[in-house]
Amino acid sequence: MTEYQEQTRAAYDGVVELYASLFADRLETRPFARSMIGTFAELVRGTGNPWAADVGCGPGHLTAMLHDLGLDAFGLDLSPAMVAHARRAHPAVRFDEARMEALPVDDGALGGVLAHYSMIHTPPRDLPALLAEQVRVLAPGGLLLVSFFATEGPEPIRFDHKVTPAYSWPADRFAELLAEAGLDTFARLLHDPASERGFLDAHVMARRR
């Protein structure tokens, strides 16, 4: 495990209850994100393979949402405290501790991967390898929905996230990385910032070739 991964795990271990209280019902005020997740679930069901991973699942609320939307969804997170909370909060859903860079999933097994603001802490140099791992576990035609903070500038921007340092990305550059990893972007939603940071919120959906 790298230093930034250890720091990220420790940071999220320390804020589990607060984080869960802030985000458990967050999508009720986030119609764009909610609609993209609903569309993702519908399209994954349409592939005929409803097995889907919520990577960086945190307290597990979105994993449970995917489950309610008809997917055979399970959650994975770096933080053991987050995984423990998710298991208590959603006992009908499977949660395991894992790094996004080394998923405990067979090659080509999944119909979908959800990464909801969970790649934001990955340094730019390490993001291509992380995306390659998501591609590895997706079946051909499988879908990835990734949400992140977007910047209108030409390069990623490091910023002080409330939990641990994070990065915002130019949406076009992120789409290029997806293409280089073997994914074809077919839907993209950018909307006004929902926080004082001023970054755009980005939701990008792509299909494995």
Q: What is the pLDDT of residues 135-182, one digit of tens each?
A: 999 999 999 999 999 998 899 999 999 899 999 999 999 999 999 999
* Bridge partners (DSSP) listed for residue 75: 54, 95
Would you mind telling me the total number of residues written for the chain in this entry? 209
Averaged pLDDT for residues 178-194:
92
Q: State whether the Cα torsion 122-205-134-172 is positive or negative.
A: negative
What pLDDT score does 48 carry?
98
Confidence of residue 7 (pLDDT cuts 50, 70, 90): very high
Confidence of residue 197 (pLDDT cuts 50, 70, 90): low
What pLDDT score does 30 carry?
87
> Is pLDDT above 70 for 27?
yes
What pLDDT score does 194 carry?
56
Averaged pLDDT for residues 29-46:
95
Copy the structure tokens of residue 104.
């405990």
CA distance linking residue 81 with residue 59, whole number of Å: 9
Whole-structure pTM value: 0.95
Averaged pLDDT for residues 75-91:
96
Helices of type H across the chain: 3-13, 16-23, 31-46, 61-68, 80-89, 127-137, 171-181
What pLDDT score does 195 carry?
58
Region for 206 from its dihedrals, namely left if φ exceeds 0, alpha if ψ lies in -120 to 50, beta otherwise:
beta
Lowest-pLDDT choice from 3-7, 19-23, 40-44, 194-198: 194-198
Confidence of residue 196 (pLDDT cuts 50, 70, 90): low
CATH topology of domain 3-208: Rossmann fold (3.40.50)
Copy the structure tokens of residue 11.
């940071």
